[in-house]
Structure 1
Amino acid sequence: MRKITALAFGVVAMLASTMAHAETLMDRVVIVVNEEVILESELNDLIESVRSEIDTDAANAPSETAIRTQASERLITQKLQMQMADRMGIRIDDAFLDQAIANIASENNLSVEGLRLEITADGASWAEYREQIRNQIMMSEVQRASIQRRIYMSPQEIDLLVNLISEQGASNTEYRVSHILISLQNEEGENDEPAARSRAEQVLELARNGDDFAQLAITASSAQNALEGGDMGWMSINEMPTLFASALEGQEQGHVAGLLRSGLGFHILKIQDVRGMQQATSEEVLSRHILVRPSVILSDNRAQQMLQEFREQIQSGERTFAELAAENSADTGSAAQGGELGWATPDIFVPEFRDRVASMEPNIISEPFKTTHGWHIVEVLDRREQDITEQRMREQAQQILYSRKFQEEMEVWLQELRDNAFVDIRF
């Protein structure tokens, strides 16, 4: 069965089930994470999923112990994020989940029914797949809420990146990069840099001698993408963590870089492929919106109903869009501008919002729809060909810089989350 692309946040949709299958009386607790447990059936499900994705018959295939260890850490990390989502009151209702799954199907050129048939073709459960996507969205919301407040971008950093973008012009290159992180921590959770360096040097030698990099990542990496073979996807030099960019710029396919030392440990990188940068859409839209966020005192249904009432008031001429946005929109930045978001390419928005503004005719107010930020109505005021101005380049630089810093902070935040948790592994 071919792989199905997950959400825009870059997560593989076909994660192993994190639902407990108490199918037999032999099912037992194998890990305790704070006040919750992970069952042996959950761990076995993920292990089987990993086995199905890798060549377990290869001479250098990861050992059963390595796969079990990586799968355990994946489930622990997921459990910790879901616990945080519960504490933060993050919920994903069925209506929003249906929209997210419809987006996944569309990105794979399938109908929702076609996606369901793809998922269930080899006996997988559609209900469990839906819960996997729900959990992925919840974890992404936890990550966004927890990490974005840790990110600071100075005007000087943005200026420097604007200059780089301007100088590079159309010569930009993208790299498909794989990554291995050898953690400084030993099995007791204490930093042991000499031992970590020794392990990293051994892995680096194997990588440079032609061992399968994905198998090495599963066996040795402490990074969150270890079970995906360390795949980081396509990135330009500007989008990479600064430490990685300096080691990879100008290198060719197959190049292995290391050891790169950071606060987390030693990094080893491999360029899997190189291509010219994909050109973004040349069209920009000028749009405005009103955002209503559900809360403890404002139900999801009421938020949707409020926006429907606003839409009717605007269409009848009773109120203007700008007035209602200024008085009611939870997006305080655009509310002060009557809801206007300025000229922007649609791809800067979250998928649900992007798809709306990309396809709407000007001067039509949408029906209420939901994104990860809440409920919206939106109106496209105008469209134009992309204007490559200083402001546009600054916006692009801010996006790239934010994405880079987000990825850098992600690993640190997840490590902190793990270090501060009570975890009891019982096997």
Structure 2
Amino acid sequence: MNLKKLLTSAVLSASLCQSVMAAPVEIDKVIGVVNQGVILKSEVDTIIDRVKKQAQEQGQQLPKDETLRVQAVERLVNQALMMQMAERMGLQISDSQLDQTLANMAKEQGGTIADLRRTIEGSGESFQAYREEIRKEITTQQVTRASVDRRIYISEQEVDNLLKIMETQGQSAEEYDIGHILIDIPNDATADEIADAKTRADKVIELLNDGQEFKRIAISSSSGSKALEGGQLGYMGINEMPSLFAEAVKGQKKGAIVGPLRSGAGFHIIKVQDVRGLQVVETTEVRSRHILIKPSIILSEEKARSMLAGFAKDLRAGTADFGELAKEYSEDPGSALKGGEYDWTDPTTYVPAFKDTLLSLKENEISEPFRTQFGWHIVQLLGKRVADKTELAKRNRAHGMLFNRKFKEESFNWQQEMREQAHVEIFPIDQ
């Protein structure tokens, strides 16, 4: 029996009673294979139901269920590939790290994890299932970061060139709220397939120019990673966009439809949904010191946390010295030898949990232990100041813009390579 028949006829039915005459009741169904993993019909249905619920709340029209199903399956294929990559890398998100993320999410909404749970369950979803979805999202982000970061190189000359461009633009540089639709083309596409994709792209532009809702068209037609979010990429400066987009979007007004733009991936269609002046704010800088303990096979999560809790208690009592503890115990090679100290830094460069904890402290206050992807920390805020724009800050910002642009481009290339190397088979829904 081949794999398709085996999977579609196996394990996923049960009877309502013990009678041999009772008709089987289908519990779930395998609708696709991704390498050694499977995609279940229930997973697809969950995504479709969530998109429909969000659309109903926003008063947004959606395409037919079959179109939503194609997009949901595509998302699950990509997610399965990411999770398989995480398993090969030995990457796992612990419950404590997941709880920290959920607490931060709830805090941003002005509540607690209990409030978040009530909201999720009130919408008819399982909170446990929601937790696992967030775990997968964190895993996916970390796998992508680990795999793509090493593909990116930014030279000093590139930073210098961008700084010159930024100087000529001054502080009036604009940011564009971008909607994106991708009509993809296979790597080994024939001339007819390319022509067909171009025809479909032209038809999308025609529909948009006739006033059709961009989000609905994106969900129906796009092969981009944000298709189920209506193709929404959010605000970006010219220097943060992929080069192909930047050249076409620069100077466009609100409402402009740009494209089709041809790349190796296919034909891109861009809508400029809004334009705004770059938001300029004064930069808050912080000086801090921290101690990092990394859980391991030998040192459990709870032991690492309680160890830092003990350090914090001794430090507040004045019976220990922060610098000495950091030199002896901290596993951050960049700061341990300096007594755990970081010089004046823009806190937005830190990971969210570290930044949020640091900014919640008063001067000289020591935090409770908290978890990031690097391990368990305690941190002390040594000082906070509002800094003028310095050459270093400009340079860091230019480097960040270049990194964001290259990260988007390389992420797409990496995911496309991973997909081409995988065995993916999707079965008809009626089998």
Question: TM-score when scaled to structure 1?
Answer: 0.86
Deviation at 1:321, TM superposition (A): 3.7
Identity among equivalent positions (%) equals 46
Deviation at 1:336, TM superposition (A): 4.9
Q: Do the aligned residues in 2 keep the contact of 1:60 with 1:211 (CA within 8 Å)? A: no
Partner of 2:162: 161
Deviation at 1:371, TM superposition (A): 1.0
Partner of 2:406: 405
- Change in Cα spacing, 1:319 to 1:30, as seen in structure 2 (3 Å) is same
User: Equivalences for 1:88-167 in 2 at 5 Å?
Assistant: 88-167=89-168
CA offsets 1:86-137 (integer angstroms, 9 cap, x no match): 2222222222222211211121223333322222223122221122112111
Q: Distance in 1 between matches of 2:279 and 2:144?
A: 27
CA offsets 1:220-256 (integer angstroms, 9 cap, x no match): 2111110111000122222222221221122211111
Q: Do the aligned residues in 2 keep the contact of 1:185 with 1:196 (CA within 8 Å)? A: no
Q: Distance in 1 between matches of 2:263 and 2:423?
A: 26
Secondary structure of the equivalent of 2:264? coil
Q: Can you give the 5+ residue segments of structure 2 that lack an aligned partner in the other structure? A: 1-11, 15-24
Deviation at 1:212, TM superposition (A): 1.8
Q: Distance in 1 between matches of 2:56 and 2:108?
A: 27
Q: Distance in 2 between matches of 1:114 and 1:319?
A: 38
- Change in Cα spacing, 1:331 to 1:406, as seen in structure 2 (3 Å) is farther
- Change in Cα spacing, 1:29 to 1:354, as seen in structure 2 (3 Å) is same
Partner of 2:386: 385
User: Equivalences for 1:193-212 in 2 at 5 Å?
Assistant: 193-212=194-213
Partner of 1:180: 181
- Change in Cα spacing, 1:248 to 1:305, as seen in structure 2 (3 Å) is same
Q: Distance in 2 between matches of 1:405 and 1:200?
A: 25
Partner of 1:222: 223
Q: Distance in 2 between matches of 1:300 and 1:60?
A: 46
Q: Do the aligned residues in 2 keep the contact of 1:55 with 1:61 (CA within 8 Å)? A: no
Deviation at 1:334, TM superposition (A): 3.2
Q: Distance in 2 between matches of 1:304 and 1:280?
A: 36
Deviation at 1:364, TM superposition (A): 2.7
Deviation at 1:174, TM superposition (A): 2.2
Q: Distance in 2 between matches of 1:44 and 1:342?
A: 50
Q: Do the aligned residues in 2 keep the contact of 1:165 with 1:393 (CA within 8 Å)? A: no
CA RMSD, 1 decimal: 2.9
- Change in Cα spacing, 1:208 to 1:333, as seen in structure 2 (3 Å) is farther
Q: What is the one-letter code of the residue matched to 2:41?
A: E
Q: Do the aligned residues in 2 keep the contact of 1:326 with 1:339 (CA within 8 Å)? A: yes
Q: Distance in 1 between matches of 2:13 and 2:161?
A: 55
Q: Distance in 2 between matches of 1:339 and 1:169?
A: 37
Deviation larger for 163-172 or 150-159: 163-172
Q: Do the aligned residues in 1 keep the contact of 2:283 with 2:389 (CA within 8 Å)? A: no
CA offsets 1:361-384 (integer angstroms, 9 cap, x no match): 222332221112221121222111
Partner of 1:25: 26
User: Equivalences for 1:77-92 in 2 at 5 Å?
Assistant: 77-92=78-93
Q: Distance in 1 between matches of 2:113 and 2:384?
A: 30
Secondary structure of the equivalent of 1:51? helix
Q: Distance in 2 between matches of 1:395 and 1:408?
A: 20
- Change in Cα spacing, 1:256 to 1:336, as seen in structure 2 (3 Å) is farther
Secondary structure of the equivalent of 2:150? helix
- Change in Cα spacing, 1:249 to 1:35, as seen in structure 2 (3 Å) is same
Q: Distance in 2 between matches of 1:175 and 1:157?
A: 23
- Change in Cα spacing, 1:197 to 1:293, as seen in structure 2 (3 Å) is farther
Partner of 1:237: 238
Partner of 2:423: 422
Q: Distance in 1 between matches of 2:111 and 2:318?
A: 40
- Change in Cα spacing, 1:148 to 1:395, as seen in structure 2 (3 Å) is same
- Change in Cα spacing, 1:54 to 1:147, as seen in structure 2 (3 Å) is same
- Change in Cα spacing, 1:43 to 1:390, as seen in structure 2 (3 Å) is same
Partner of 1:18: none
Question: TM-score when scaled to structure 2?
Answer: 0.85
Q: Distance in 1 between matches of 2:421 and 2:72?
A: 20
Larger CA Rg, structure 1 vs 2: 2
Partner of 2:301: 300
Q: Distance in 2 between matches of 1:278 and 1:328?
A: 41
User: Equivalences for 1:11-90 in 2 at 5 Å?
Assistant: 25-54=26-55, 61-90=62-91
- Change in Cα spacing, 1:341 to 1:264, as seen in structure 2 (3 Å) is farther
Deviation at 1:323, TM superposition (A): 4.6
Q: Distance in 2 between matches of 1:209 and 1:37?
A: 41
Secondary structure of the equivalent of 1:274? strand
Q: Can you give the 5+ residue segments of structure 1 that lack an aligned partner in the other structure? A: 1-20
User: Equivalences for 1:362-373 in 2 at 5 Å?
Assistant: 362-373=363-374
Secondary structure of the equivalent of 1:224? coil
Q: Do the aligned residues in 2 keep the contact of 1:288 with 1:339 (CA within 8 Å)? A: yes
Give the count of matched residue pairs. Answer: 405
Partner of 1:340: 341
Q: Distance in 2 between matches of 1:72 and 1:315?
A: 53
- Change in Cα spacing, 1:324 to 1:79, as seen in structure 2 (3 Å) is same
Q: Do the aligned residues in 2 keep the contact of 1:196 with 1:266 (CA within 8 Å)? A: yes
Deviation larger for 242-251 or 294-303: 294-303
Q: Distance in 2 between matches of 1:266 and 1:193?
A: 9
